[in-house]
Amino acid sequence: AHSTADETYDVLVIGAGLSGICSLYHIRQRFPSWRVKLLEAGDDVGGTWYWNRYPGCRFDSESLSYGFSFDKELLEDWHWKETYSPQPETHQYIKHFAEKHNLYQHVVFNTRISSARWSDTSNTWTFADGAGKEYRAKFFISCIGFLSSPTLPNIPGVHEFTGQSFHTSRWPQDLDINRDFANKRIGIIGTGATGIQTITSISKVPDIGSVTVFQRTANWSAPLRNSGITTEQMAQHRREYDSIFQRCAETPACFVHQADPRKSLEVSEEERLALWEKLYNEPGFGKWLGIFSDTYTDRTANEMYSRFMADKIRGRVHDQETAESLIPKNHGFGTRRVPLDSGYFEAYNQANVHLVDLQKTPLERITPTGIATSDGSTHELDVLIYATGFDAITGAFSAIDWHAKHDRPLIASSHSKQGDRAIWPDHRPLTFLGLTVPAMPNMFMVLGPHQPFGNATRSIEHAVQVINDLLQYCDEKNYTYVEATQEAAESWTEHVVECSNALTLMNEVDSWMTGVNTNVKGKTVRSVARYAGSAVEFRKRCRDVQASGYKGLKFA
Ligand code: NA7
């Protein structure tokens, strides 16, 4: 018994994270008379910063570079209290922005879209939520996030554990670790950016019983070096906003950090060490992104830097056998997203923090009381935390049953019946500028696949502006239909793949950025998540397309 959509929105936005909130704000500004709604699965705005409430969750990019740059009043008012803002503060920032601009009234919460159908006769999309309620729209903006669909390990027994267990992005809201984790045996699977923040925080709980970390792949991590920002410092920082945003606009990934143009092998050993040490001792991503320009393209350069970083880890961990397990062996420093930590490696110096190296003893199964590994032992646990990451990039799309143009599915793996008709076969995205997709008319994406890698808010602001310009163009020309051509999408996607191939060392490592995920059925083929050809180049290409009268898009 489906209710019929009784009204057609001019624009529907799906997802109330930074992308959705920014989209909604700008659409309201530019098209005040349009009917607009934002649908959100959660019960508040915030997206990533709403869902990820695990302890220790915080920015690794500078707070000052992360806020909305267009709201000058908010820049004047807002006090970022830490150089790298913790999740509760960032969530508060997004809520405050939404309140300030009266956006809540346009958001429908607790609404998870489960299907979407394009109609060629009315040029509209009809969406249905889990309860069968329908929403019809002329245009829609996908703001569903690229790290929003959590995955559990693909091993037996995941639902058999009888103690408390949850994924880090579904952290129980009423859980107080100081109270509830006292004297408890905590197990945690996963050592990505999330696992590293979580492990560090829970190991500091004063009365924690024990923390057992199940590590499949050792991960490079380096000190974040966070600090507080006083009222006086913040007053000073406000005068720097223009130059901070200007700098972000000039760097390849929109961070304040930029690679040193020199090559590792062209400088003397003293110069090399001097830069490495300097960056290591500075806060933030400089030690990943501010280093010599050949670090991710020249194997020797990468090996040298990795050795430097391995020694840093050895210096932080007392037990050298544990240190060796914690040092990555099969991928060089920075070839995956580098987590930044606040005492991660030191946590293993505590007698109650244990590392289980799954390279030596792989996971066998989850049992009702703990985790069984291949050496025959069962690690008994009271709480089991999955920091096992996400079905990245395409996961939030996979969760929706798409009936695109000619009733085509968006995603289907090659073994499914519909496989050959899927727009993204084998979970491999095909996009034009990461903003549009052939056979998906009137659909635009913010932070979609193939948008530039880097500082999210900076990318979001740009994508939202390009989309709004396009909507305005359609409005002025009375177009009710816009779609990327197959040729334009193929040629853009080819360019995205070429740019990624140029980052040789990153490209040969499995990670969420290269598309493979052992926990997702059929996600076995490498794909390119983000555009690596620099945000500067991306903006130029968008401008060129705009100036050409939107070559690559067809209108009706
Ligand atoms: P990540 O970076 O994808 O990390 C997931 C972690 O979970 C990683 O250590 C995985 O090991 C581990 N994992 C996943 N599945 C399993 C199974 N089946 N068995 C054992 N271990 C497993 O996700 P995060 O949430 O940490 O970070 C995502 C991004 O969010 C991050 O890059 C930031 O940009 C913010 P693996 O390395 O795959 O062997």
pLDDT tens series, the chain, 556 aa? 344 556 899 999 999 999 999 999 999 999 999 999 999 999 999 999 999 999 999 999 999 999 999 999 999 999 999 999 999 999 999 999 999 999 999 999 999 999 999 999 999 999 999 999 999 999 999 999 999 999 999 999 999 999 999 999 999 999 999 999 999 999 999 999 999 999 999 999 999 999 999 999 999 999 999 999 999 999 999 999 999 999 999 999 999 999 999 999 999 999 999 999 999 999 999 999 999 999 999 999 999 999 999 999 999 999 999 999 999 999 999 999 999 999 999 999 999 999 999 999 999 999 999 999 999 999 999 999 999 999 999 999 999 999 999 999 999 754 556 667 999 998 999 999 999 999 999 999 999 999 998 999 999 999 999 999 999 999 999 999 999 999 999 999 999 999 998 888 988 898 998 988 999 988 988 999 999 999 999 999 999 999 999 999 999 9
CA of 217 to the centre of ligand 1 (A): 9
Minimum-distance ligand 1 atom for the alpha carbon of 155: 18
Residue ranges of the alpha helices (H) in 389-480?
A: 395-398, 456-477
Minimum-distance ligand 1 atom for the alpha carbon of 153: 18
**Residue 117: exposed, middle, or buried by beta-carbon count in 10 A (0-12, 13-18, 19+)?**
middle
Strand 134-142 relative to strand 411-412, pairing: unpaired
Tell me how many degrees the CA angle 210-213-218 measures, rounded to the nearest 5: 150
CB 369 within 8 A of CB 380: yes
Q: Looking at beta carbons, which pairs linking 126-133 to residues 24 or more positions away fall under 8 Å?
A: 126/5, 127/12, 127/14, 127/39, 128/2, 129/39, 132/1, 132/2, 132/3, 133/3
**Residue 421: exposed, middle, or buried by beta-carbon count in 10 A (0-12, 13-18, 19+)?**
middle
CB proximity list for 311: less than 8 A, separation 6 or greater: none
Full-model pTM: 0.96
Side chain identity at residue 119, one-letter code:
S
CB proximity list for 89: less than 8 A, separation 6 or greater: 80, 81, 82
Q: Which two tokens stand for residue 537?
A: 């180049």
Phi, psi of 193 (to 5 degrees): -55, -40
Side chain identity at residue 236, one-letter code:
Q
Using a 6 Å CB cutoff, which residues line ligand 1? Answer: 147, 153-155, 189-195, 216-217, 337, 358, 363, 387-389, 512, 518-519
Cβ density class 499-509: b for 16+ within 10 Å, e for less: bbeebebbbeb
Beta-carbon-side half-sphere exposure of residue 289 (alpha carbons within 13 Å): 22
CB 14 within 8 A of CB 146: no
CB 436 within 8 A of CB 443: yes
CA of 190 to the centre of ligand 1 (A): 5
